[in-house]
Amino acid sequence: MSALRFVNAPYLRLSGRDEIVAAADGHPFVSCFVAPEAVGFQRDETLVWNWIWGDDSSLMAFGEPERAARLLQDVMAETHPSRLTIPVEVYDLLPEDARPPTPNRWRWFYTRAVPELPGVKPRGEWLDGSAEDEITELLTAGFPGASNWPGPARGSGRRRWFGVRDDDGSLAACGLASTNGGEVPNLASICVHPDARGRGLASDMTTWVTARLLDEGAPLVALGSYVSEEATHRLYRRLGYRDVYVLASGRLRPEE
């Protein structure tokens, strides 16, 4: 299908998380990525809203792809974002000069229920700042392409690292739970040390942290995984996570 150019049709401006989530009838994808201070734009049943990620302003989109692509371009002309994080169906409809040239593509998953998989033994613990060097060492060995690392947070919201330790006290697996300024915790950088793989640690740890976050009152738990990690996707699906979208994320223009 050919790219769609913007049409400058009117749209409704929304203010704050509650208005934006209500406009989407509480859809989990929108709920996951809307911060309290977000600004949204609505045309019919299509939504675009801003998502602040560190010093970057990213636009996200929800709705029928053709309508979302048109609304997104109208909003981009007004707001001039530095990034987009949008479903690939919307990305593919944008002109080349209105989309990130080299986006990351990743699957977005969510669940509202504690995983119940036979043979899984939930285990884990929250890690404090004293474990940052251990986490960095583990990610370097097992997941050098991880999207999140210890250190200063980008964006607002709560960040908590978690992990599983071996009997000798060494860190065998880790992950990050963060809210990114919204109310829904997102799991990221889930990693098992290469020497500890094949023992079910990823299933055990993901089950543990999902249960903890839901017990704390989270309405759902979400996670993202690069499209190439199909073995990881099968694990999450077995744990009851649903993948709803493949997203394309990236900068619209090179950093100065």
- Total domains in the fold of the chain: 2
Q: Is 132 exposed, middle or buried (0-12, 13-18, 19+ CB in 10 A)?
A: middle
Let me know if residue 227 belongs to a domain: no
Let me know if residue 167 belongs to a domain: yes
Residue 255 has pLDDT above 50, yes or no: yes
Is the domain of 98 the same as that of 118? no
Contact (CB, 8 A) for 43 and 63? no
Full domain range(s) for residue 19: 12-105
Q: Which phi and psi (to 5°) does residue 23 adopt?
A: -65, -25
Residue 6 has pLDDT above 60, yes or no: no
**192, two tokens:** 């098992």
- Which CA distances in Å does 234 have to 163, 212, 213, 242, 243? 21, 22, 22, 10, 10
Residue 190 has pLDDT above 80, yes or no: yes
pLDDT digits (tens, 9 = 90+) for 132-173: 999 999 999 999 999 889 987 666 678 999 999 999 999 999
What is the residue-averaged pLDDT of the chain? 91
Q: Is 20 exposed, middle or buried (0-12, 13-18, 19+ CB in 10 A)?
A: buried
Contact (CB, 8 A) for 219 and 112? yes
Is the domain of 87 the same as that of 120? no
Which run of H or E residues covers position 225? strand 221-226
Is the domain of 98 the same as that of 142? no
Contact (CB, 8 A) for 39 and 15? yes
**59, two tokens:** 């636009």
pLDDT digits (tens, 9 = 90+) for 192-236: 999 999 999 999 999 999 999 999 999 999 999 999 999 999 999
Its pTM surpasses 0.75 = yes
**165, two tokens:** 């330790």
